[in-house]
Amino acid sequence: MTVVTVVGATLGALLGATALGAGLYPRGARGFGLAVVDATWSLPNTLAGLVLLAWALARGNRVDRAFSARRGVLGLRDGVLPGFATTVGPVQAGVGLGVDDHEAVHVRQARLFGPLYLPLIAVNWVIATVLPYWLLYHDREAAPIDGVGAYFRYGVYPHTWHEEWAYRECSSR
């Protein structure tokens, strides 16, 4: 067995056991379809989410079964970054922070863009960092950029394409 096979089997078993225990996918055709997409087209995102899941569980985080049941999103009670919920593939770390609808957009984006999703995010982060196009429309009064931390927290992060999409979609509700 190769290392890749062992790691893949371990991550797959972790997701399978956790998904089964939490009742992750809705019953019926919709749930079956989401599971198929997560295991095929969106597999790189699912695997990255499994890495997040394994890391969070090893650090004492717990799956929120009530949140996860039939949602198609595996919710972890606590975030992995202070003050932020983080979603990778079908795994959301930090539920109940008032951002569940926003994070659900990221799950949908990952399923829609499949293997292109994470590379597109990475490329956009680099571009937004090096060529801050967002300064053309950034609200400097509401979110002043007064240091390196603020540059990333209030500048780069909220102005990446996937975050702007999620914020826009949730603000229109």
* Domain residue limits, the chain: 3-171
Q: Given this model, what pLDDT does residue 4 score?
A: 65
Q: What is the pLDDT of residue 16?
A: 66
> In terms of C-beta density within 10 A (0-12 exposed, 13-18 middle, 19 or more buried), how is residue 126 classed?
exposed
Contact 50, 13 (CB under 8 A): no
> Rounded distance, CA 114 to CA 43, Å?
7
Query: With b meaning 16 or more CB within 10 Å and e meaning fewer, what string describes 22-46?
Result: bebbbeeeebeebbebbeebbebbb
Model pLDDT, residue 11 = 62
User: Starting from the edge strand earliest in sequence, which strands make up the sheet with 74-76, in order?
Assistant: 74-76, 91-93, 86-88
Distance, in Å, from the CA atom of 106 to the CA atom of 129, rounded to the nearest integer, reads 21
Q: Residue 21: its pLDDT value, please?
A: 62
Vertex 155 angle, CA 132 and 125, to 5°:
60
63-94 per-position pLDDT tens digit: 999 999 999 999 999 999 888 899 999 999 99
92, 77 contact by CB (below 8 A): no
pLDDT tens figures, 122-169: 999 999 999 999 999 999 999 999 999 999 999 999 999 999 999 999
At residue 12's C-alpha, the angle toward residues 10 and 16, to 5°, is 120
The helix (H) or strand (E) run that includes residue 88 is: strand 86-88
Average pLDDT over every residue of 49-60: 94
Higher pLDDT, 118 or 32: 118
What's the pLDDT score for residue 23? 79
Across the range 88-111, mean pLDDT stands at 93
What is the pLDDT at residue 81?
87
Q: What is the pTM of this model?
A: 0.87
